[in-house]
Structure 1
């Protein structure tokens, strides 16, 4: 317990050193704290969204294994899916609308499979955009936070040199504050950047897996609609 309290005090003291460094140091510190908070917020919300999409796909797979999802009427199958914000339900509905619209308006202008494919691709792209939204901030934070911290480091070293120049000699009393500020700025920049880069790569990898499942589902919808629509027209 004593060690934890000591570490906490050292952490707060490090921030206090930076905060006493003037308006420029304070501005840099605030920017990096905001970047860190947004990084964690985006990461948590994206992981929650990924978890939700994986659960939605798992529910569909359970129904498909029972043989009830693709064997009957697709409209009835997707109506059973729970949730207003169901990505796979949206994809299937987009495909159904495309098939109905083609039959009434585009039968002589564009092949059925092409029209349904275009509509499904649009729906898949919307899921992809939903997953990748905000990831640019993690990438930006990961690439810029170390340099923002480095700016604070340069300013701290510059202050230390000014203190040495004013005192005429390198006194620990004069240089400890600015040098400490410089080192803390470097550490904070890395503490902000490393999680951003790590979680960006994790989220990108998980998004890739989800999009593979999404495209596989869209392919199933495409095959179902093309075959059933053609059979209905015979």
Structure 2
């Protein structure tokens, strides 16, 4: 059972708390500006439920490296991220953990401290980079181009700079309109294939665009 210790609403949906406090303890301060972070509590529960210590997890939309937290739970993690800025933050995060593994590890999984686990940060386009061998993929697809522009009130001016970093590369899927976004995501899912276990985290606004291809 996923996340047995968390409350559920009347429809059975799990009610995860905000992860701001935990994230500030584990990651560099700069990650807070990222406009589309995966909930860290949800990520931890997925890792506990569907993987084992020693497994390798790959996140092909690495972002600020939330999935990398699985390293503190004894899993090896590959993060593929197209934006160099966020790959640099992932590397900084891992360097901090290696410098003080006990303090960081105790925030997540006291029993797993000291287990050998590695974080590989790969800067590249996930449509072109070869995926490393993996036991489980966990990722959250990007938004379509409403996060790449300020027009239409999708973003406040305060968060525009963060969104510009989020979609700096011209190949970033977050820059594409819905038609080309759908095509690109279809290619990503085809590349992932059916030979690996998947946990895909999708918000309501991208659910139809992303899940249509899977179904």
Please identify which structure carries the higher strand content: 2
Same fold (TM > 0.5): no
Identify the structure with bigger relative contact order (alpha carbons < 8 Å, sequence gap 6+): 1
TM-score using structure 2 length: 0.20
Please identify which structure carries the higher helix content: 1
| Greater C-alpha Rg | 1
TM-score using structure 1 length: 0.19
